[in-house]
């Protein structure tokens, strides 16, 4: 081996960073941070959940988990059937709309707390501040259109 060369097990200091790997690591770290700081107990975890009604994203996730085997059905629970799958698919657009509303609001709150578009772009995994601003503009236009259509 040539002196100064790295072995395959050592990271190459001159290799470009792998954005996907860095993003995946940040996602795991973000989930752990929020869980540890704001959802450490059952009481904390369930404060944003309605005790008697599933939110669309919860219903979609539940059916998906039951179908995939990630969650086991209880003995007294019926098996997921075609109508359950269609019901979950029906809820996907509403779950997406709700998440877009949450994202737009979170961006606005971040800006209100003095975060820059660069900060927001980094958090969202976008390449530029302009991309973050454009994303916010699209979300705001979509959520405003959906609110007007729902009235």
Whether 8 is covered by a domain: the verdict is no
Q: What is the pLDDT of residues 28-71, one digit of tens each?
A: 888 788 888 888 888 887 777 777 788 899 999 999 999 999 99
Question: Can you give the pLDDT at residue 51?
Answer: 74
Residue range 89-116: mean pLDDT, rounded: 96
> pLDDT band at residue 101, thresholds of 50, 70 and 90?
very high
Q: Return the pLDDT at 115.
A: 97
Q: Residue 25 falls within a domain, yes or no?
A: no
Put simply, whether the predicted model's pTM sits higher than 0.85 gets the answer no
Which residue has better confidence, 99 or 19? 99
Residue 36 has what pLDDT?
A: 85
| SS3 state of residue 98 | helix
The answer to whether residue 138 is domain-embedded is yes
Q: Which residue has the tokens 């269609």?
A: 86
Tokens of 76: 């007294």
- Rounded to whole angstroms, what are the CA distances from 53 to 50, 57, 106? 6, 12, 24
The verdict on residue 33 lying in a domain is: no
Question: What band does 84 get if pLDDT is binned at 50, 70 and 90?
Answer: very high
Residue 17 lies in a domain: no
Is position 19 within any domain? Answer: no
Total structural domains within the chain? 1
> Which domain range does residue 69 map to?
50-150
pLDDT of residue 70: 94
Q: Output the pLDDT for position 2.
A: 55
Mean pLDDT of the chain: 86
Q: Which pLDDT value is given to residue 81?
A: 94
Confirm if 71 and 65 have CB atoms less than 8 A apart: yes
Note whether residue 29 is domain-resident.
no
Give the per-residue pLDDT at 150. 59
Contact in structure between 65 and 57 (CB atoms under 8 Å): no
Is residue 12 situated within a structural domain? no
């Amino acid at each position: 081996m040539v002196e100064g060369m790295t072995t395959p097990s050592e990271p190459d200091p001159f290799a470009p960073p792998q954005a996907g790997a860095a993003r995946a690591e940040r996602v795991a770290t973000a989930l752990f941070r929020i869980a540890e700081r704001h959802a450490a107990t059952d009481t904390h975890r369930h404060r944003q959940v309605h005790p008697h009604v599933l939110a669309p994203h919860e219903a979609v996730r539940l059916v998906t988990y039951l179908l995939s085997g990630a969650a086991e059905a209880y003995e007294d629970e019926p098996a997921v059937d075609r109508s359950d799958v269609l019901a979950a698919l029906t809820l996907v657009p509403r779950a997406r709309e709700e998440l877009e509303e949450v994202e737009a609001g979170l961006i606005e709150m971040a800006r209100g707390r003095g975060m820059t578009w660069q900060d927001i772009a980094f958090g969202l995994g976008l390449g530029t501040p302009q991309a973050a601003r454009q994303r916010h503009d699209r979300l705001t236009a979509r959520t405003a259109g959906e609110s007007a259509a729902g009235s």
